[in-house]
Amino acid sequence: MRLNKYISEAGICSRREADRLIESGRVTVDGKKAVPGMQVTEQSDVRIGKKRIGSRSGKVVLVVNKPVGIVCTEDMRERRNIIRFLDYPVRVTYAGRLDKDSGGLLIMTNDGDLINAMMRARHRHEKEYKVTVNKPVTDEFLRRMSEGVRITDKEKKLDVVTLPCKTKKLGKYTFSIILTQGINRQIRRMCGACGYKVTELLRVRVLNIKLGGLKSGEIRKLTEQELKELYEQTKGRQDEGAGGAS
């Protein structure tokens, strides 16, 4: 098995990210620095830094209701990172980030191919959010948001018009929005461009997986039906991702 696939199937990261780890010199195999494209077996001693990793014994896919303030990072120097917060007995990581100031649905898994498929921007997976803003939601505001908003950030070298999306008024200060792209802090930037400020942001759905009644900080495993539908919706994309990285 190629090393990048081995690392991916251990639930550490996608194959592309595994290649970056290897190229950075952080990965060793049987005590020697790894090189891109090398082959390993189940008996190989594969390590990232000092930590030994092993191939997964079974797929784990979880839904987490991430609390506001928890950071989606694997950097253990961050005291409030999602890995430490979850403290799950099987090594899992996130398939799509939520920023520190946002809460709601986060999919955590040890299936690297699933992560790879879900993270590819061109696949345009639906993500639905409930948003609370500081001013009354108007029809004009929702129209501008749904048609696409120009967002710029000189520091981040960002200048883009967002893709058309679906919006719906939920209350005087709340609305729902369904995105198919993943620009950093996209909803906050879009609202800001329209003269609004987000006061609360909750992700309630990714593809077929819904947050439902899961309380903040709680986790659950996906049901068999949810898993079946999720893998059906990403299967071709996983195959595509695997072919491109091998």
Catalytic option among 87, 99, 113, 153: 99
Residue listed under structure tokens 């190989």:
44
Residue 75 a catalytic site member: no
User: What's the chain's length in residues?
Assistant: 246
Any residues with CB less than 8 A from the CB of 140 and at least 6 apart, and which? Answer: none
In the three-class reduction of DSSP (H, G, I as helix; E, B as strand; rest coil), residue 134 is classed as: coil
Tokens of 96: 């799509």
CB 102 within 8 A of CB 163: no
Around Cβ 185, how many Cβ atoms within 10 Å?
17
H or E, element range at 192: helix 186-193
CB 80 within 8 A of CB 230: no
CB 53 within 8 A of CB 46: yes
Catalytic center residues = 99
